[in-house]
Amino acid sequence: MSNPLLEKSKHPHGAIPFDTIKAEHFVPALKAAIETARNALEVYKKDHSTNFDDVLTKLDDIVEPVHSIYSIFENLHSAECPDELDKVSEEISTLTTAFSNDVGLDPEIFKRVKACYDSREKQILTEEEKKILDKSFIDFKRNGALLSDDKKDEIRKMDEELGQLALSFSQNALKATNAFLLVITDKKDLDGLPDSFIEAAAELAEKKDKKGSWCVSLQASMLIPFLTYSKNRELRKKIFMAHSSKCLNDEFDNQTIIKRILTLRRDRAVILGYKNHAEYVLEQRMAESPQKVESFLAELMTKAKPYALKEVAKLRALKKELENTDDFEKFDSAFYSEILKKRELDFDDEMLRPYFKLENVVDGIFTIAERLYQLEFKEVTNIPKYHEDVRTFEVYDKRNDKYLSLFYADFFPRETKKGGAWMTNFKGQGLLRGEVLRPHVAIVCNFTKPTKTKPSLLTLDEVTTLFHEFGHALHGMLSQVKYRDLSGANVYWDFVELPSQIMENWALEKECLDIFAVHYETGEKISADLVQKIKASGHFLEGMATMRQLAFANLDMKYHSVEPESVTDISAFEARETKAAQVYPDIPGTSISTAFSHIFAGGYSAGYYSYKWAEVLDADAFEYFQQEGIFNADVAKKFRENILEKGGTEHPMELYKKFRGQEPDVGALLRRSGLV
């Protein structure tokens, strides 16, 4: 049987042949690639050269086909995962983890890497070669290369089990999301909901064979508007509870998985010589230690909590005024926040939707990228797609008309896609078999879908999400390094959010909104008055929003710093460790943790704080743009050349100082957030 995963692509730019790849291709392709790699590694281990290319470049060329197949699978498993693909996920994970461990724990392979590392002073190496050699040596050590054989076996078994547990956690979260459906049969229960939402709910009902009713799912594009606008408190509570109790004491329960993950992560860190998983992770972060992270979070909490408590008191008072009751719960927050916003700012998100037609926002963000970085996006139809909703683009540098990247944009929710939004690489930028290749980058989102009568009209939050993920994409597309392991977003985890979060700032500037924010029916540009309200809304209830993120970050850090044996009850542990950041009382039967995929099935374990850390970087960096002009060519050039193009070739603080001329100022975030 021919296998497109093992054949050279015939498509432009070597695009992945999604049109011919099927679920049944993955396991045979992976097994074949692993066998080929193992045979090549046997030859590699007999070579005694300590030359950089003979050691590191050759090793990367040998293992890359395995990693490439797994990368395609992993991306599809998140973005387009029908049942037949999900069924092979466990075997794929087992095969890949075993191979990675076989390479990382092989004493003969490490012997060659160490010999190259030890002879580095005798070789004529570029700064980037020194960096990748140093990184490779440290990665081998951190993955157990210096351990005894019995300890290596323990690491191997732990990694295999951790891979399976993360997969199960993610599968449970997706299944729990898809399992819930709120069916509304009485039109009165739609009071307060926007017409566009009602139409979408009717279309979902039709799709679910419940014609004549309205259906609401737990997808964010439906969940958030329902909690924000529905006047039916009992239904708001019902959908809030369904969302907030996913994988908690139900058929998709993740509690046992969480406890096992925590134990394995701690035990793995201890074997490698660290006190706990947090200490292990933060050794290679800008923050450096759990103590520094905790101090950083505590500083922000001290500033934000007084504001947050005043904001909650204001919402309570509003409900008391309107309904003469003191009964105020978490599931009331979004609803009364929207009323307060309309009262104080004469503004609500639904006023903005007509100005944020998705196609206009996408064209606008391309124009902004052109003005900042001289990029051109050309939509193409000759690139295979993994789903009909995906749009494909070629990206060019207008300064020299050079091709930079393929770009895939996947905007709408479906049952075969995980919730949330993310950027990923299908192919990274950098050296492969003697050629420095350009990247294939994708952003995957879950935005409001078009209906029969209306195009996709985004909320302001969805617009900023698009700008955020596009910032990540720029980091990947503009990368100009030699080695893939240092390209694009392959940087310290608490630096990776700078390119994404800084882009959100442009979405709130009138100069940018004038580019794309036009009424989809009248063509009228968004008014200066409405833009001013958008700017003001950036500070609205910022204390509460900050405390929410700090609660998540602190919970993550505590999970990975304490002894796992102390986490006997997930809900009780969560309540205790988020108490300092709480501004609402707990609701029994709810949990952040059991669907907290970022830390239990993603890459953010002991790293969720990085969102706030990067906010300091982006606030300080954007102040520089504001001082010189948000489209200032010199500042944009500095950001492109020192941040977006450099990947992980230098320490992030050094790159930041080359761009900014100084270390970041925490005060910039407090000023922007109005928390001063």
Pull the structure tokens for residue 434.
């003697």
What's residue 128's pLDDT? 96
Pull the structure tokens for residue 333.
């927050």
Q: With contact defined as beta carbons under 8 Å apart, do 433 and 61 qualify? A: yes
- Count CB neighbours of 249 within 10 A: 13
Interval 603-619: pLDDT, tens: 899 999 999 999 999 99
Helix (H) or strand (E) run with residue 229 in it? helix 220-229
| Secondary structure class of 565 (helix, strand, coil) | helix
Q: Once rounded to an integer, what is the mean pLDDT over residues 225-241? A: 97
Closest alpha carbon to 507 in 538, 479, 481? 538
Long-range CB pairs of 288-295 (<8 Å, 24+ gap) are 290/557, 290/561, 290/606, 293/553, 293/557, 293/609, 294/554, 294/557
Q: With contact defined as beta carbons under 8 Å apart, do 442 and 407 qualify? A: yes
- Count CB neighbours of 16 within 10 A: 26
- Count CB neighbours of 562 within 10 A: 16
Answer whether residue 440 shows pLDDT above 80.
Answer: yes
Q: What is the DSSP letter of 450?
A: P
What's residue 350's pLDDT? 87
Q: With contact defined as beta carbons under 8 Å apart, do 262 and 577 qualify? A: no
Which residues neighbour 325 within 8 Å (Cβ) at sequence distance 6 or greater?
319
- Count CB neighbours of 581 within 10 A: 22
| Tokens 């080359």, located at residue | 658
CA distance 280 to 298: 21
Interval 90-143: pLDDT, tens: 999 999 999 999 999 999 999 999 999 999 999 999 999 999 999 999 999 999
Q: What is the DSSP letter of 324?
A: S
Which residues make beta-bridge pairs with 397? 375, 402
What's residue 419's pLDDT? 86
Q: Once rounded to an integer, what is the mean pLDDT over residues 205-221? A: 94
What's residue 603's pLDDT? 86
The model's confidence at residue 456, banded by pLDDT at 50, 70 and 90, is very high
What's residue 121's pLDDT? 95
Q: Once rounded to an integer, what is the mean pLDDT over residues 586-602? A: 94
Report the chain's mean pLDDT, rounded to a whole number.
Answer: 95
Answer whether residue 628 shows pLDDT above 80.
Answer: yes
Answer whether residue 190 shows pLDDT above 90.
Answer: yes
Q: Once rounded to an integer, what is the mean pLDDT over residues 648-659? A: 96
CA distance 304 to 550: 10
Ordered DSSP codes for 66-90: HHHHHHHHHHHHHHS--HHHHTTHH
The model's confidence at residue 333, banded by pLDDT at 50, 70 and 90, is very high
Answer whether residue 348 shows pLDDT above 80.
Answer: yes
| Secondary structure class of 6 (helix, strand, coil) | coil
| Secondary structure class of 560 (helix, strand, coil) | coil
CA distance 113 to 104: 11
Ordered DSSP codes for 255-278: HHHHHHHHHHHHHHHHHTT-SSHH
Q: Once rounded to an integer, what is the mean pLDDT over residues 56-75? A: 97
Q: Once rounded to an integer, what is the mean pLDDT over residues 513-538? A: 93
Ordered DSSP codes for 38-49: HHHHHHHHT---
CA distance 190 to 198: 7
- Please report, for the chain, the start and end positions of each structural domain, with discontinuous segments joined by +: 12-104+106-146, 180-244, 354-538
Interval 364-384: pLDDT, tens: 999 999 999 999 999 999 999
Interval 351-364: pLDDT, tens: 999 999 999 999 99
Strands 430-432 and 435-437: antiparallel
Instruction: Kindly report the pTM of this predicted structure.
Output: 0.89
User: Percentage of the chain surpassing pLDDT 90?
Assistant: 94
The model's confidence at residue 195, banded by pLDDT at 50, 70 and 90, is very high
Interval 390-428: pLDDT, tens: 999 999 999 999 999 999 999 999 999 998 899 999 999
Q: With contact defined as beta carbons under 8 Å apart, do 578 and 324 qualify? A: no
| Tokens 């956690």, located at residue | 169
The model's confidence at residue 585, banded by pLDDT at 50, 70 and 90, is confident
Pull the structure tokens for residue 467.
């700008």
Measured distance between the N- and C-terminal CA atoms of the chain, rounded to whole angstroms: 65
Interval 4-60: pLDDT, tens: 999 999 999 999 999 999 999 999 999 999 999 999 999 999 999 999 999 999 999
Which residues neighbour 331 within 8 Å (Cβ) at sequence distance 6 or greater?
227, 233, 236, 237, 240, 241, 587
Phi/psi for 423 (5° steps) reads -110, 145
What's residue 573's pLDDT? 97
Q: Which residues are annotated as catalytic?
A: 469
What b-and-e string marks burial along 550-559, b requiring 16 or more CB atoms within 10 Å of the CB?
bbbbbbbbbb
Pull the structure tokens for residue 308.
């947050």
CA distance 307 to 138: 43
| Architecture (CATH level 2) of domain 354-538 | Orthogonal Bundle (1.10)
What's residue 293's pLDDT? 96
What's residue 504's pLDDT? 96
CA distance 675 to 543: 7
CA distance 676 to 671: 6
The model's confidence at residue 191, banded by pLDDT at 50, 70 and 90, is very high
CA distance 129 to 649: 9
Closest alpha carbon to 516 in 458, 472, 474? 458
Helix (H) or strand (E) run with residue 380 in it? strand 375-380
What's residue 537's pLDDT? 85
CA distance 512 to 100: 45
Q: With contact defined as beta carbons under 8 Å apart, do 217 and 197 qualify? A: no
Burial (CB < 10 A; 0-12, 13-18, 19+), residue 42, is exposed
The model's confidence at residue 676, banded by pLDDT at 50, 70 and 90, is confident
Closest alpha carbon to 459 in 347, 373, 593, 378? 347
Which residues make beta-bridge pairs with 182? 216
Strands 214-216 and 375-380: unpaired
CA distance 310 to 567: 33
Pull the structure tokens for residue 305.
């909590």
Q: With contact defined as beta carbons under 8 Å apart, do 156 and 264 qualify? A: no
Interval 248-299: pLDDT, tens: 999 999 999 999 999 999 999 999 999 999 999 999 999 999 999 999 999 9
In order of 207, 223, 226, 264, the CA distances from 188 in angstroms are 22, 19, 14, 51
| Secondary structure class of 313 (helix, strand, coil) | helix
Which residues make beta-bridge pairs with 377? 395
